[in-house]
Amino acid sequence: MRPEGYVQSHPTSIEHPRTVSVLDVPLALTDYSRTVTFMDEMIEGPWPGYICVCNVHTVMSSSEDPELRAALLGSSFNVPDGQPLVWAINSLGYSLTGRVYGPELMARACAHATSQGHRFYLYGGRNQGALVQLALNLRTRYPGVKIVGGYSPPHRMLTEEEQDAIVEEINDSRADVVWVGIGVPKQEKWMARMRPLLEAPVLVGVGAAFDFHAGLVPQAPNWLQEAGLEWAYRLAHEPRRLWRRYFRYNPRFLGAFARQLAEQRLRPVR
């Protein structure tokens, strides 16, 4: 487990964000601007990596899934996507001003890339039609953004031949960033597994951001997001797909984090 306040050590000029452990998952003390700046430095530097966008579901799933946990521990860093994670971090004595929400991070990176010339590849989406719509929407909203390829994988593990083909396609695209939208925990495992094979400097797993930006799923109003109730809004719109996730993991997170907080407060002051 990475200790609290851990800073990843690499022989590079990139200064990794400080992290805090929430239920043994290191979460970066960062914001949108610093995350986008870090992505710029990864693109310009010699050390590729990947970024995981974490919510309560990600954190709780990692306690049951060793491969997911390993992917989170092996990332460049993990950003707190869920508002409850921001509250948890701040209750541990930090002063994070807000979350780094995957769809918003993707939007800001696209806006930034129009002046930087960064090249994006899109891996994910519900199907190839949804992926085409996503690319069209991004190009319309951010004129000049360079979408250099995309692939919507089947809902199964790729064969060795399919994997080799997609590695070749992504590398041939000369993408700077591969946005990965295949959901937790698939996207985290995919990034960890594919990182050694891909030449793109940055991989970012953003989950439902593909559906939101493609216009397939509505986003919760800002006031619901700020109140930490985005999960309720999404549940109301996709009950069949999401009810097990929220009713299983949300109560377990509250109980587990309450224990972590109590243990921290009972520790003697050094």
Residue-wise pLDDT tens for the chain (270 aa)? 333 443 343 444 567 789 999 999 999 999 999 999 999 999 998 889 999 999 999 999 999 999 999 999 999 999 999 999 999 999 999 999 999 999 999 999 999 999 999 999 999 999 999 999 999 999 999 999 999 999 999 988 899 999 999 999 999 999 999 999 999 999 999 999 999 999 999 999 998 999 999 999 877 788 877 777 887 777 787 787 777 777 888 999 999 999 999 998 887 655
Which residue spans within 113-175 are E strands per DSSP?
Answer: 119-124, 146-151
pLDDT of residue 183: 94
Helix 230-237 vs helix 239-266: crossing angle, to nearest 10: 160
Estimate to the nearest angstrom the gap between the alpha carbon of 51 and the chain centroid: 6
Q: State the pLDDT at residue 25.
A: 97
Of the candidates 205, 160, 159, the one whose C-alpha atom is nearest the C-alpha of residue 181 is: 205
Long-range contacts of 129-133 (CB under 8 A, 24+ apart): 130/210, 130/211, 130/214, 130/216, 131/210, 131/214, 133/214, 133/215, 133/216
**AA letter at 198:** L
Task: Let me know: does 49 contact 178? Beta carbons within 8 Å.
Answer: no
Rounded Cα–Cα distance for residues 138 and 33 (Å): 20
Of the options 3.40.1130, 3.40.50, 3.90.550, 1.10.3210, the CATH number for the domain spanning 19-223 = 3.40.50
Do 122 and 131 form a contact (C-beta atoms < 8 A)? yes
Taking the C-alpha atoms of residue 221 and residue 198, their distance in angstroms, rounded to an integer, is: 36
How much is the pLDDT for 9? 38
Sequence-distant (6+) residues with CB within 8 A of 140 are none
139-143 contact pairs (CB < 8 A, 24+) = 141/107, 141/110, 142/110, 142/111, 142/113, 142/114, 143/114
Q: What is the DSSP code string of 225-252?
A: HHTT-HHHHHHHHSHHHHHHHHHHHHHH
Domain residue spans in the chain? 19-223
Question: In the structure encoding, which two tokens stand for residue 224, read together?
Answer: 């619901």
Whether pTM > 0.75 for this model: the answer is: yes
For residue 183, is it left (φ>0), alpha (ψ between -120 and 50) or beta?
left
| Coarse DSSP helix, strand, coil percentages of the chain, rounded to the nearest 5 percent | 50, 15, 35
Start-to-end CA distance of the chain, whole Å, equals 22
